[in-house]
Chain A
Amino acid sequence: DSGVTQTPKHLITATGQRVTLRCSPRSGDLSVYWYQQSLDQGLQFLIHYYNGEERAKGNILERFSAQQFPDLHSELNLSSLELGDSALYFCASSVAAGQLQKNEQFFGPGTRLTVL
């Protein structure tokens, strides 16, 4: 158990819908990262938040957005869903941002999103 929690575990929805994925980082961790893993793309970095502020963006679509709240939990919002958005979505947390480059990231169990 990494200490990172994600809800829900599974989500089934239809094309065009909007969903929200939730992540609670490990106690004391200020950074939250979101990753997407689909069958044909592997693990792809989406976005990083540190202490409530966006720090870096990866391959995140404009239909996707995220935020980190004062209690440090984070939500990933996916809208206008397409079949290709079906994937595993992982969040990870670490103590600090990139300055402490040796910091490891601890991953949650993921949310499996299925778009029908």
Chain B
Amino acid sequence: DAKTTQPTSMDCAEGRAANLPCNHSTISGNEYVYWYRQIHSQGPQYIIHGLKNNETNEMASLIITEDRKSSTLILPHATLRDTAVYYCIVRAPYGQNFVFGPGTRLSVLP
């Protein structure tokens, strides 16, 4: 599996956009980038995934650089309930499972 590197922690003001970066410089051409988050000790929650094009859904936007070596998850209007650990994962071809790193602890501040 390609490794990912994320900042350990980030703060964001409530109502502002939260931009969470992820480096995955060894990503292969057919590997997808996934984002999950885990609020306190709840089960990880799927956010979004993409291959090479930018993606948007009701939760977030995913921007993948043209060389696919990095990506950014954007929460357009962060709320206090978005405080969580965010995981960026690159899934190997025909991978069976997700390999979770330590993630980024996002704190949304009032």
Contact = CB atoms under 8 A, between A and B. Distances in A.
Interface of A: 2, 4, 33, 35, 42-45, 48, 55-56, 58, 88, 90, 92, 97-99, 101-102, 104-110, 112
A107 B87 CA distance: 14
A45 B98 CA distance: 7
By secondary structure, the B interface counts as loop
Interface stretch (B9-17, B75-83, B88-96): B88-96
Nearest to B97: A45
A102 B49 contact: yes
B102 A42 contact: yes
A88 to B, nearest CB: 6
Interface string B19-34: 0000000000011101
24 contacts: A4-B43, A33-B96, A35-B100, A42-B102, A43-B44, A45-B96, A45-B97, A45-B98, A45-B99, A48-B97, A56-B96, A58-B97, A98-B94, A98-B95, A99-B94, A101-B32, A101-B91, A101-B92, A104-B34, A105-B98, A107-B43, A107-B45, A108-B43, A112-B41
